[in-house]
Structure 1
Amino acid sequence: MTKDVIALTQRMPEPGAVLAGLLSGGPDKLVDTAGEGAVVQLCDEQGRPLVSVEAPLLVQVEGEAERLLGATNAPRVPFWWTEARATTGVPEAERLAGTFAARLASLSGGAVWPPDAGRSVAVVASEGIGVAPSPAAAQPAVDVLTDKVAVVITDRPVVAMTAWLADTFRAAAAAQRGLQIVSPAGTALSPAVRDVLPGWPSRWVVQDAREGYYDGLSGAVLRWQDGMFVTEPGPDATQDDPRTAVAASYREVARTGERQLALTFRAVHPPDDRLVLGGGLETVWRELTGEPPAGWGTAEPANLPWSPGRLTDLAFSRAPEPTWFVVVGSPGRPGLATVKVIRTKAGVEEEVTLAFGYGAGEQLPLDALRRAAEALVVRHRLQSMLVQVRKARRDLLVPPRFEGPGVPVAFALGAEEVRSLPDDRAARTPLAEQPVRLGPKARPAYYYPMPGDPSDLSGWADFERLMRHLKGA
């Protein structure tokens, strides 16, 4: 198991401050750098990582420390975010990480998360501890590695798509392993992690006092078997009907009246040196909230102020490899999007998953959806868009509890897709409400409104009828 300790500081930690923080836990033989100075790793004589310290990250987006850590004592933006990841199997490692973060915060002005991590500052016994030989600690985020899965055990309040976890996702995929993330009860999952978590055998594993472990997204009771977490058969399971047991904690649902408006859309752009990405996302954000996104990044916390130009530059610098981004809104209107940019034969594709959260007394901007779809069609080469309403948390975090599926509110089909259909199939549908034409008359796209009652799942039947009709089934 590992323990994360984070220093949130007003000033950039200088190399001398980082060095002093590490030296506060022991003699100078503990200190070395790796990864061209980006990571400091401290290991025992067997090469096992004790503490890995990542390069400081400048966070310029308001609310990220509160969203991901619940930290109310974070400095005002901009501030520096420095992570230390300690192996808690060795008590000295966790104390060293806490000592390091506390000293760093003291020298650079700031706070430590969790607040009690740096309260007991003492010199750590260093006998048998030395510098990590590269690349012994190349994957400090992995706690258990088997031939089937990589297991990450975290105790953060929010399992976020940190740089550590993003690296672990890539390493597990490259090794053709699943990724299983284990967290304590009460932890929530960031939508950014949920949206990219692969299927079986990858899963979010929640520790539970009654059941032991269960899947935080499905509720299935789990057990460790043959090198990974697998589902526990239910009491009524048979060979022909292998139904799984569902954890009681997962079924404990409290209705709060909170809702989410969720959109997924895809745009395809012809390759052009003048292309600017992120414009469609900003357009939708402005239409639905009245303001642009607040920030973006390639991991959480989202650390950069919103800039389609800088986002585009990074995506093009990585082409033809795909690029993944996370985009967040201001604290007053919770919003989070993940964007995947892919270079294909058709051009440059943007895949966007976006959600906004609303409290019980807040109105959803359903009347703005058609305007958003029209703007995507006219200016951003929309291919398709699906909009759903779901009963879920306003802060957008995913709890290890049943929340229920979303219900379709609307679907939009881009002009090129409409043009590829025979006759007037896109204009004449079996739905009760007729579609609304978008864009120029010569190249129409269509917007298909649906009832969108989150208490009535029959909306999916309407959506399936529409899909079968458009496909000519």
Structure 2
Amino acid sequence: MRVADTVTDRACVVLQDRPVLGLHRGLVDLLLAAERDGRAVRVVTPPTTRLTMPLHAVLAGGAGSWVVRYPEHGYFDADSGAPLHWSEGDFAAYAEPAGPAAATDAGSQLWMTVRLLHTSPPASFGLATEAVCTALTGGPPAGWGNAEPVAEPWRPIELSIAAASRGRRPTTLVVVGGGQRAAIGLLEFAIEPAGISETLTMAVGGFAAAPPDLDELATRLATDHPLGLALMVFRPGRADLTQVPFEPAEGRPLCVTVGPTAYTGDGRDALLALPGARTAGPAVHCDLSAGWAAYAQVRSVAMAGKEDGKPDAVG
């Protein structure tokens, strides 16, 4: 299925006019082809369109960008708010953003990034994802797939077979929750020098202003899985987890748990010396109430004690 409306040496431009736009099969194929050819993907929508979390995360992660078109005002970067024009085969900013968007009053979301490093192939991938989803939504994931809507029911062994079938190529899968709260995420696998990395980025909606108690989940992840990192961020957003243009995305970091696959030697002692740090099974759990500066400090300490060849599990 042809998706791109304009293709240049630098970019593939996709014009979409849907109320909600997800990471559908056509876009997945286009993103893979664009990556192979060294092109960025620009998804252009009206300001009334919302993106699903998987599509927005893939674009924001470096595959391209979301462009909003106002008939009377032109084009804008949907994340930064920068005004754009067409220049030399791609969209380019020509002025600074007017300013940050106002915080949404739609609700709050909990975003969690979990990075594992398997030094040998596990019996099954996806078990940490199941633990996270169950703890935060009250039930395991409902399904997974290569695109949206997901087509496969949640069976970790089948997910593992699909990931292994890609060989050494990185694999990205969509996971949807099946519990009492809306949950959706991306599960990524890659071959690293020291093993197989498994990274979950999951958003869970419907929380009140106060975040849930996350200590027990952090300890379970560190004890039961080869944990590198578990980062938890509270951010404003819609309960259905779709993204609107110009919505603040940075959020407020709550805590980070750094596991033994992310450090070596004296790294654990150095992490425990940080303010608000404590043990969580074999890992170190760090409070981030001081904000992103506290996370940067944790990352710096963990990286200083990281063994050569280990992936950046605290990136």
Q: State the TM-score, normalized to the length of structure 2.
A: 0.89
In the alignment, which residue of structure 2 is the partner of 1:23?
none
Aligned partner of 1:390 among 235, 238, 249: 235
Judged with a 3 Å threshold, the aligned counterparts in structure 2 of structure 1 residues 423 and 445 are, in CA distance, closer, same or farther, namely: closer
Q: Which amino acid aligns with 1:183?
A: T
Contact in 2 for aligned 1:287/1:371 (Cα 8 Å): no
Q: Which amino acid aligns with 2:161?
A: D
- Secondary structure, aligned partner of 2:272: coil
In the alignment, which residue of structure 2 is the partner of 1:173?
35
Question: What do the CA deviations read for 1:88-117 (whole angstroms, capped 9, x no partner)?
Answer: xxxxxxxxxxxxxxxxxxxxxxxxxxxxxx
Unaligned segments of structure 2, at least 5 residues? 306-315
Question: What do the CA deviations read for 1:159-206 (whole angstroms, capped 9, x no partner)?
Answer: 211110011001111111111111112001121112222677932111
- Secondary structure, aligned partner of 1:426: helix
**Matches of 1:470 and 1:176, distance apart in 2:** 33
Judged with a 3 Å threshold, the aligned counterparts in structure 2 of structure 1 residues 255 and 344 are, in CA distance, closer, same or farther, namely: closer
**In the TM superposition, what is the alpha-carbon distance from 1:405 to its structure 2 partner?**
1.6
Aligned partner of 2:211 among 355, 361, 364: 364
**Matches of 2:237 and 2:254, distance apart in 1:** 16
Q: Does residue 266 in structure 1 map to residue 109 in structure 2?
A: no
**Pairing of 1:359-438 with structure 2 (within 5 A):** 361=208, 364-365=211-212, 367=213, 369-422=214-267, 424-429=269-274, 431=275, 433=276, 435-438=277-280
In the alignment, which residue of structure 2 is the partner of 1:194?
56
In the alignment, which residue of structure 2 is the partner of 1:336?
184
Contact in 2 for aligned 1:418/1:445 (Cα 8 Å): no
Greater fraction strand: 2
- Secondary structure, aligned partner of 1:151: strand
In the alignment, which residue of structure 2 is the partner of 1:447?
285
Q: State the TM-score, normalized to the length of structure 1.
A: 0.60
- Secondary structure, aligned partner of 1:337: strand
**Matches of 1:315 and 1:298, distance apart in 2:** 10
Q: Does residue 144 in structure 1 map to residue 3 in structure 2?
A: no
**Pairing of 1:9-408 with structure 2 (within 5 A):** 140-197=2-59, 202-233=64-95, 244-246=96-98, 251=101, 253=102, 255-256=104-105, 258-272=107-121, 275-330=123-178, 332-358=180-206, 361=208, 364-365=211-212, 367=213, 369-408=214-253
Count of residue pairs brought into register by the alignment: 305
Contact in 2 for aligned 1:180/1:204 (Cα 8 Å): yes
Q: Greater CA deviation, 411-420 or 290-299?
A: 411-420
**In the TM superposition, what is the alpha-carbon distance from 1:374 to its structure 2 partner?**
1.5
- Secondary structure, aligned partner of 2:164: helix
**Matches of 1:423 and 1:322, distance apart in 2:** 30
Question: What do the CA deviations read for 1:237-270 (whole angstroms, capped 9, x no partner)?
Answer: xxxxxxx2439xx84x464250111111210113
- Secondary structure, aligned partner of 1:282: helix
Judged with a 3 Å threshold, the aligned counterparts in structure 2 of structure 1 residues 459 and 423 are, in CA distance, closer, same or farther, namely: closer
- Secondary structure, aligned partner of 1:224: strand
Contact in 2 for aligned 1:178/1:202 (Cα 8 Å): yes
RMSD over equivalenced CA pairs, Å: 2.3
Q: Does residue 468 in structure 1 map to residue 300 in structure 2?
A: yes
Unaligned segments of structure 1, at least 5 residues? 1-51, 53-139, 234-243, 452-457
The structure whose RCO (Cα within 8 Å, separation 6+) is larger is 2
**Matches of 2:268 and 2:46, distance apart in 1:** 56
- Secondary structure, aligned partner of 2:80: coil
**In the TM superposition, what is the alpha-carbon distance from 1:285 to its structure 2 partner?**
1.2
**Matches of 2:103 and 2:256, distance apart in 1:** 30
**Matches of 2:129 and 2:62, distance apart in 1:** 30
**Matches of 2:24 and 2:63, distance apart in 1:** 21
Judged with a 3 Å threshold, the aligned counterparts in structure 2 of structure 1 residues 258 and 424 are, in CA distance, closer, same or farther, namely: same
Identity within the alignment, %? 32
**Matches of 2:5 and 2:169, distance apart in 1:** 28
